Amino acid sequence: MKRYALDQRSFFNVTLSTSFKECNGRGYPCAFVQVLSFQFCNSENLSQALSVPLEGSPNSSVYDGVIISSQRALQAVKSYRASRSDEERWKGFWGGRDVIFYVVGETTAKLTLEVFGVPLERLIVGISASALAPRVVERERERGRRENREGRRLLYLCGNIRRDELPNHLKQEGIPFDELCVYETHKMEGEVLFPWEQHNSTQHEDSGGASASASEGVLRFDWICFFSPSGVKVVYKNMKRRKEMIGGGVGGGSSSLFPADGRIKLAAIGKTTAAAMEKKAMRADVIAEKPNAVSLIGAIAVYEKEITT
């Protein structure tokens, strides 16, 4: 039975439970180590940007397209919507307008259909922000030529530490958009402790939702999975500091940061996270083809099958 330690617990239970379910379904119990926290912000601005006009009111303030770069950005919309009681009118409005939704990742796409109630044909999906950017430009130019009108603007919903590739590409290509930060990412206070480092008094949450201490001898980990560049930075900084404190230094790849028995492998949720790991001398043994738990666990299973045959 293999165990997997993941670099961050999602702020949203739906993501956490999905990851647990996928790991358990493949026979891989896991423990989540929380290194990041998330907080929604600018809810008033979000409300104004996505407000549904009253009957007979002009629609000039409504955007012609919405870019959603992450699940958390969409969860910010869901949080804003949770206090509203006009669900039918909301979905009727967005479903009835020619608004294109540009999203990163299949999971985000499914949630977009759920939250906004738009038909599938008005969804443009990219596997990453950099892959989505040229598709936004192509589609918006096509719409501009077809409809022959100026003043089209997009709403870009993102976090406080979003990457630059997508907005920079839109600016370079002359695509007008308004950027709105709807959530903030922060590192957790204190040290990051992996389960194998924890003492009797320190608990973690395992895949069954129960707490167990490392001293009980039930925790052996084969993989560490990273879900974001931010998580990589926090983990690296903590591990580096502890290595330096005991005189071990840092360098020479992942073996200098993690138990040196050669058993622990590293996995990344996508190429961007893998690149962040590489910069910290932590080479990913596995990179998920798509940025979701299903693809990540599948890639790990394929890797293990290949090295055992």
Q: Are residues 303 and 257 in the same domain?
A: yes
What's residue 175's pLDDT?
Answer: 92
**DSSP-derived pairing of the beta strands 30-32 and 4-6:** parallel
Q: Are residues 249 and 223 in the same domain?
A: yes
Q: Which portions of the chain are predicted below pLDDT 50?
A: 1, 3-5, 8-16, 57, 60, 199-218, 249-256
Q: Are residues 48 and 175 in the same domain?
A: yes
Domain limit, last residue, from 185, 213, 239:
185
CA dist 292 and 284 (Å) reads 16
Number of domains forming the structure of the chain: 2
What's residue 207's pLDDT?
Answer: 46
Q: Are residues 46 and 90 in the same domain?
A: yes
Q: Are residues 25 and 48 in the same domain?
A: no
Of the candidates 172, 73, 72, 74, the residue with the CA atom closest to the CA atom of residue 130? 172
Q: Are residues 162 and 222 in the same domain?
A: no
Q: Are residues 16 and 48 in the same domain?
A: no
CA dist 212 and 30 (Å) reads 12
How far is the CA of 304 from the CAs of 201, 264, 291, 301, in angstroms? 34, 12, 20, 5
Q: Enter the tokens of residue 130.
A: 């950099």
Provide the CA 1 distance to its chain's centre, in angstroms: 27
What's residue 20's pLDDT?
Answer: 56
What's residue 86's pLDDT?
Answer: 73
- CATH code for position 200: 3.40.50.10090
Q: Are residues 142 and 73 in the same domain?
A: yes
Q: Are residues 177 and 198 in the same domain?
A: no
Q: Are residues 122 and 241 in the same domain?
A: no
Q: Are residues 64 and 177 in the same domain?
A: yes
pTM metric for this prediction: 0.69
Q: Are residues 135 and 247 in the same domain?
A: no
pLDDT digits (tens, 9 = 90+) for 72-102: 899 899 888 877 777 777 887 887 778 899 9
| Summary mean pLDDT of the chain | 76
Domain limit, last residue, from 185, 205, 235:
185
Residue 63 is part of which domain span? 39-185
Domain limit, last residue, from 121, 155, 185:
185
Amino acid making up residue 123: L
